[in-house]
């Protein structure tokens, strides 16, 4: 049986993060959404349907994947936004031919024999038009970025049980390290933990992936996941519900935050209830608010509607798109959304919504010159032995043309 993971027309619900990646490549818990679906279904090939907006860069970066192509064989299609678990796997596997699972607004999974051809997330709904629909009541699908933050601690714990607990554990610590509940801790190969570190897994697991460095006197309180090749700086305080992706450098105080990859917050300052993209740098002393003084629900700018919506949560920090840089001692207000490729600094409170490719202080923003942005992005990627490609440049140019103001 063939399996394809598809993004649907709700991919823009997750802007600015999905301006540069598939919905399936959003991280929650330890894994990305696509990775979790593949793991539960034991898939050995990656076949995806994504937006045409991202097609060229995905084909460049993932040459071994099958992207936006279907064959005339019976196939199970799985929505990348699905909150998959072992129970739902049985529902997918038990789907009759020419039928789908869903609710009033979404298709969760479908089984059919399609015609061979090319397809994208923009027209995926046509495939499911004439299928018998089996409606399921309940919350089975992700709709907003802030939902990922709110459920991150739970998903770290579940991923630990399902995918890490029985893996080879290179549990070894230096003298002077304090460990609470060692059976709830998983340490990857070549990971180093310096003296003075406290790892408290009393209330949830702590997973330190391969080649991680935890520097002296850092404190980690689970559930926490630290991705491969990342560094936690001296004296850092990493609280529950935090997932830090690969190749990040993180210091200061971080709580209930997801960082995709390749981003730095090396110095003191608070980052809470936030979702951070890739190639983001947060300057020394910068702090965000994640709770309003009146304790009311936080409103957040929502790209599809072009206005703020009620997040139905009292704890929301900031959402930051790829390649955005924030200067030292900046203050970011509750529920702030920052687009791709911004360069922000100064004494003004950074607040509300700032579109992609803006430069300057909050009260005096100008367009970030394209050549200057590319110059910085090239340098940043070279520091990780990576190149800024032609397709990446075209993607950022296309994002620049999108009007969200």
CATH superfamily of 2-143: Spore Coat Polysaccharide Biosynthesis Protein SpsA; Chain A (3.90.550.10)
The tally of CA atoms less than 13 A away on the side-chain side of residue 264 is 15
In this predicted structure, the answer to whether residue 197 has a pLDDT above a threshold of 80 is yes
Distance CA 139, CA 390 (A): 40
In sequence order, which residues have a C-beta less than 8 Å from that of residue 128 and are 6 or more positions away? 77, 100, 107, 110, 112
Q: In 3D, which of 128, 136, 133 has the Cα closest to residue 83?
A: 136
What is the per-residue pLDDT for 118? Answer: 95
Distance CA 273, CA 295 (A): 15
Average pLDDT score over residue span 308-334: 97
3 state DSSP class of 293: coil
In this predicted structure, the answer to whether residue 261 has a pLDDT above a threshold of 70 is yes
Distance CA 128, CA 134 (A): 12
404 pLDDT tier (thresholds 50, 70, 90) = low
Query: Which CATH architecture does the domain made up of 146-401 adopt?
Result: 3 Solenoid (2.160)
- Mean pLDDT (the chain) is 95
What is the per-residue pLDDT for 402? Answer: 86
What is the per-residue pLDDT for 333? Answer: 97
Distance CA 295, CA 168 (A): 44
Distance CA 292, CA 126 (A): 43
Cβ atoms of 146 and 209 within 8 Å: the answer is no
Cβ atoms of 381 and 388 within 8 Å: the answer is yes
In this predicted structure, the answer to whether residue 262 has a pLDDT above a threshold of 80 is yes
198 pLDDT tier (thresholds 50, 70, 90) = very high
What is the per-residue pLDDT for 166? Answer: 79
**Could you report the per-residue pLDDT of 70-124, keeping only the tens digit for each?**
998 999 999 999 999 999 999 999 999 999 999 988 999 999 999 899 999 999 9
In this predicted structure, the answer to whether residue 231 has a pLDDT above a threshold of 70 is yes
Instruction: Provide, rounded to the nearest whole percent, the portion of the chain with pLDDT above 90.
Output: 92
**Could you report the per-residue pLDDT of 144-179, keeping only the tens digit for each?**
999 999 999 999 999 999 998 877 777 777 778 999
The domain locations on the chain are 2-143, 146-401
Average pLDDT score over residue span 279-283: 98
Average pLDDT score over residue span 215-244: 98
Which tokens sit at 309?
A: 């919506």
Average pLDDT score over residue span 337-346: 97
**Could you report the per-residue pLDDT of 27-64, keeping only the tens digit for each?**
999 999 999 999 999 999 999 999 999 999 999 999 99
Q: In terms of DSSP bridges, do strands 242-244 and 258-261 run parallel, antiparallel, or are they unpaired?
A: parallel
What is the per-residue pLDDT for 405? Answer: 58
Q: In terms of DSSP bridges, do strands 31-32 and 27-28 run parallel, antiparallel, or are they unpaired?
A: antiparallel
**Could you report the per-residue pLDDT of 358-401, keeping only the tens digit for each?**
999 999 999 999 999 999 999 999 999 999 999 999 999 999 98
What is the per-residue pLDDT for 403? Answer: 67
In this predicted structure, the answer to whether residue 67 has a pLDDT above a threshold of 90 is yes
**pTM score:** 0.95
Distance CA 78, CA 124 (A): 11
- Contacts for 354-361: CB closer than 8 Å, 24+ residues apart: 355/404, 355/405, 356/16, 356/19, 356/321, 356/399, 356/400, 356/402, 356/404, 357/396, 357/399, 357/400
């Amino acid at each position: 049986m063939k399996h394809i993971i598809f993004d649907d027309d709700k991919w823009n619900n997750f802007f600015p993060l999905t301006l540069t990646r598939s919905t399936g490549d959003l991280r929650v818990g330890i894994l990305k959404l696509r990775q979790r679906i593949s793991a539960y279904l034991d898939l050995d090939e990656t076949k995806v349907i994504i937006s045409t907006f991202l097609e060229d860069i995905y084909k460049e970066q993932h040459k071994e994947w099958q992207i936006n192509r279907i064959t005339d064989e019976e196939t199970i299609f799985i929505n990348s936004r699905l909150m998959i678990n072992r129970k739902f796997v049985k529902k997918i596997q038990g789907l009759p031919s020419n039928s789908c699972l869903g609710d009033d607004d979404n298709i969760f999974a479908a089984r059919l024999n399609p015609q061979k051809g090319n397809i994208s997330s923009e027209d995926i709904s046509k495939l499911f038009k004439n299928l018998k629909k089996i409606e399921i009541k309940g919350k089975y699908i992700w709709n907003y970025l802030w939902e990922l933050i709110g459920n991150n601690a739970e998903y770290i714990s579940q991923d630990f049980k399902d995918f890490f607990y029985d893996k080879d554990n290179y549990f070894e610590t230096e003298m002077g390290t304090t460990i609470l509940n060692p059976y709830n801790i998983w340490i990857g190969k070549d990971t180093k933990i310096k003296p003075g570190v406290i790892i408290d897994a009393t209330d949830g697991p702590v997973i330190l992936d391969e080649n991680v460095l935890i520097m002296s006197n850092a404190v980690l309180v689970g559930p926490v996941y630290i991705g491969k090749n990342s560094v936690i700086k001296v004296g850092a305080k990493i609280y529950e519900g935090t997932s830090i992706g690969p190749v990040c450098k993180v210091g200061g105080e971080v709580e209930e935050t997801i960082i995709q990859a390749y981003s730095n917050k090396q110095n003191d300052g608070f980052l809470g209830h936030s979702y951070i993209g890739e190639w983001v740098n947060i300057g020394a002393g910068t702090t965000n608010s994640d709770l309003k003084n009146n304790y009311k629900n936080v409103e957040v700018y929502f790209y599809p509607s072009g206005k703020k919506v009620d997040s139905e949560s009292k704890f929301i920090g900031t959402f930051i798109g790829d390649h955005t840089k924030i200067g030292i001692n900046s203050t970011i207000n509750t529920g702030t959304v920052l687009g791709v490729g911004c360069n922000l600094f100064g004494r003004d409170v950074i607040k509300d919504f700032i579109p992609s490719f803006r430069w300057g202080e909050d009260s005096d923003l100008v367009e970030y010159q394209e050549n200057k942005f590319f110059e910085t992005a090239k340098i940043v990627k070279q520091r990780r032995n990576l190149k800024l490609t032609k397709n990446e440049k075209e993607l950022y140019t296309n994002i620049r043309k999108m009007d969200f103001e």
